[in-house]
A and B are shown apart, each in its own frame.
Chain A
Amino acid sequence: MDCCPSIKNVLLLDSEGKRVAVKYYTDDWPTLAAKLAYEKSIFTKTLKTNARTEAEIAMLDGYIVVYKFIQDLHFFVTGGDDENELIIATVLQGFFDAVGLLLRNNVDKRSALENLDLILLCLDEIVDGGIVLETEASVIATKVAANSLDGATSLSEQTISQALATAREHLARSLLK
């Protein structure tokens, strides 16, 4: 009934389908077992597809799943059956690019786990309780990194602007394609 676009979950799995970071926003999967079963199902059903250059899409168990892979990381965003596919895809792209910026384009499972705090903050800044909070990757990354400016391990102001520059370059390249 609610006509505000909503996201059911955002998942980041590794190349064996294990969790790196996941966030569920609805009670569609009430138990841990149900969640794991769902993750396993989408992981195996999308495993053979090639979602490395362009985000891919699938319809599973009455949900729309949009996904993209890089190295040994699998990104998924799930929405309802009647959701606008492009909105779900925008959220995925925002998450994907923001992680790229935060990990300084060194996106793999290892660095994702080493910077898990950033990934979790990133998830927190993209969707709040199913409602899309922000979709612009550079904004998300700034919001996440602004908190860790003081931390020695995190991005400094300098690298942020670098990161943004890389993002711009990425964007330009994808436009030229």
Chain B
Amino acid sequence: MDRKQCCVKLSVQPSRGLMDEKFIVLVQNVFPGFQLTLHALYKCEDGHSWEAFAHYTASAIGTVNISEDPSLGGTYSGVEPMGLLWSLRPVPGSKPWLRMRKMNVQTPMEVTISVYPGYQTEGFLDQVPLAGVVVERWYMAPGVRRIPVTEAGLTATLFLPPGPGPFPGLLDLWGGGGKLVEYRSALLASHGFASLALDYLTAKVTIETGKMVDNQYFERAYKVLEQHPQILSSRIAIIGLSLGTSITLKMAVYSQVAKLRCVVCISGSHVQPVDGSVEQIMSFFNKNAEKTRFNNENHMICRDLLLPIPTDPSLKVDVGQLQCPLLLVVGEDDQNWPTHESAMDIKEMMERAGNSHLLTLLSYPDTGHLIEPPFTPFAKASSFRAVSSRQKLVALWGGETAAHSRAQEDAWRKTLVFLRANLYGGVNTGIASFSNL
């Protein structure tokens, strides 16, 4: 490459987008057939640097369009419009077993996308690229309101879409890592759902009293949604992941207070002491702790703790009694929970009970446990400190980068369609009042 390539034009459209929106990365003004590397760099809130890169060959008119052209190698290959985001991984020399999670949702993720000459695989930061742009990725759409909720002893954050409403409501439950994780709720509010992210493992009340929350804690969270003037009490749903699924199924079937329009259960199981408290559920898991395995990298595999799926009805949520639609999302390579086996058993139970028409099952091959909103880096294993054990280990989540990322994109789109159909769809009984105008 002797002739200096100048005036390379690099653009990303849109330059400011939501985290789940696609973008188009376009390189123009390079020599036809020019070999180049596209590179993405992101410095996360913890100060770690993440990068992704891919090799492309410019067309006969001197352009590269990532949405149409194949990557010939790098951290992803093939035609992957969003590969520069989902294949991000910690730069060489980083601490191992990192997981990227944005905790401050009020600022965007800023990614620098650059183009380098030739097919490169390392040393990006030691060179000057041909061109570079900055892309902002937001969890919150403009006008979404973030409201901390501390009433009724809750530790939660409510995200309201812009406008007068009324909106459907969502209770958003994460898993065994605890903390108040807001990003999924922020994104759901950006899509028109009033969403309450709830901390139920490391809630203020638990930190202060040392006691885990009881079942009424979740019902109080439900009531916050039900009683909110901008939320429709008849259109409330729950979305749960991992341990959050356990709570979700429990409430859907056993709660006298929660009247749910639909539920979304991701990477979870129905196996638990029936209608047990969080504490009881966790000690049930701990009883089987000797079934924990470790692979040859010393990563912890927990999927056997709940296997085999019990036949004893007192140890499974009676999903045959479910009265609302259920979207079940599982990864077939989940190494943390036996989600695929649980899904099969749930399906069988519902078929026997005659309510399987309520079930939509999305099962993804080569996909692991952490099925999250799309276009964020994949972590096959990461440092994990379970709230109960306080031990710091590396948990194996499972999955393979490209397949898992594809599953996240598909599952998220289908989750939004499911939520819209159940929470926004159906007859708008206001028709009578409209047509009188």
Q: Do these two chains really belong together in a complex? A: no
Binding site for B on A (CB under 8 A): none
Binding site for A on B (CB under 8 A): none
